[in-house]
Amino acid sequence: MDATSTGYRKRPAGSVTLRVLGALLTYPDASLRDSLGEMADLLAQERSLRPARAQEVQSLIAALQRTGALDAEAAYVELFDRGRATSLHLFEHVHGDSRERGPAMIDLAQTYERAGLYLAEGELPDYLPAVLEFASTQPAASARAFLGEISHLLKIVFGELLRRESAYASVLGALIEMAGEKAEAGPSIPEPPMDESWAEPVVFDGCSTQGQARPGQPQPIRIVPKSALTQGTAP
């Protein structure tokens, strides 16, 4: 996992599934591949996903198990680390590299810390596996509501993965359905020009408080209003 906590109380319903789905979205190194069989068993035991979606996720796990290490790792990098459309850093779909990124990152990290969860060194709070780690520590109703707040961003990534015919789409579809919503593609956001996307961002040229509460106010987990993206423009 990409985040650690000070400890958990009794796990809420669906929490194990959230953690498995988050792990499946991380880089498929040797440690992850060694855990795939256990993850498949955990999903089957908790049964939080509808059968058809669960089968899709199990098929992804099976594909990762039979794919060579170098091929799996290269495919992951090509899919998630080349451009913004399928980025697992959710603020990429809201603010890109704008100067408004920092305050929202701080808000989100503080939300995690209040829940007793601390990010691994070098990890960013908007990284989807870390977001799911946090959600897995919350009561079931709170986790569902939290997923609902970010479902419009999940749908963007889901749509891009569908367009690329990636088996990873099953994970995003599962998350959207765990939010109580229909798994459907969100609006496609055009990629910036290649030279712009590879440009070095200004250090700490941060994320935005738009769509979020300011530090010290309730509900800093609100990432961006859905209307901003359904209208085709992000803050």
List pLDDT tens digits, range 69-94.
Answer: 999 999 999 999 988 899 999 988 87
In a domain, 178, yes or no: yes
In a domain, 4, yes or no: no
Six-digit token pair at 110?
Answer: 């503080």
- Per the model's pLDDT, the better-predicted residue between 172 and 115 turns out to be 172
* C-alpha torsion 9→47→221→163, nearest 10: 150
In a domain, 41, yes or no: yes
Domain of residue 129: give its range.
12-188+202-230
In a domain, 197, yes or no: no
Q: Indicate the number of domains in the chain.
A: 1
Six-digit token pair at 86?
Answer: 């399928």
Task: Name which of 10, 9, 148, 164 is nearest 82 in CA terms.
Answer: 164
Task: Say yes or no to pLDDT of 173 above 50.
Answer: yes
In a domain, 129, yes or no: yes
In a domain, 235, yes or no: no
Six-digit token pair at 195?
Answer: 């030279």
pLDDT tier at 97, thresholds 50, 70, 90 = low
Task: Give the per-residue pLDDT at 115.
Answer: 85
